[in-house]
Amino acid sequence: MKVVYYSFSGNVRRFINKIELADVMEITQNNCAEKIDVPFILVTGTIGFGEVPQPVQSFLDVNHDLLRGVAASGNRNWGQNFAKAGRSISEKYQVPLLMKFEVQGTQSDISEFKDKVGQLNEDYGREEIQSY
């Protein structure tokens, strides 16, 4: 599954680079209104007091129907606003908040993200989810 990300300060970009996935796209001011045609997971930072960055919102205005999950970066110093953009996007578009991570993430965060992307890839396209 494609991973689309926005990095305001470079922290999310560093996180994505550590993951070493093949199908990634960075949201920029130049492409934030571009339509894509494949399902994706969004990774974004949070700005201000927990707001979704404007380029991310512009991208979602066009592509929200293909959004399958969101992860967000933030700084725990912001308390309840830590990585709040992820929670806001999750609630607005009714997709899972896969995780929140601090700044550029730890090795544990990277492993967790890879596992969750793998699970979404496995579940995507199934007509029926097997119950146990």
The four Cα atoms 22, 27, 30, 33 give a dihedral, to 10 degrees, of: 110
CB atoms within 10 A of CB 30: 8
pTM value?
0.87
pLDDT at site 125: 57
The domain locations on the chain are: 2-123
Instruction: Please check whether the domain covering 2-123 is classified as CATH 3.40.50.360.
Output: yes
Q: What is the pLDDT along the chain (132 residues), one digit of tens a residue?
A: 899 999 988 889 999 999 888 899 999 999 999 999 999 999 999 888 778 999 999 999 999 999 999 999 888 767 677 789 999 999 999 999 999 988 788 899 898 888 888 887 776 655 444 444
Which one, of 96, 101, 99, lies nearest residue 115 by Cα? 99
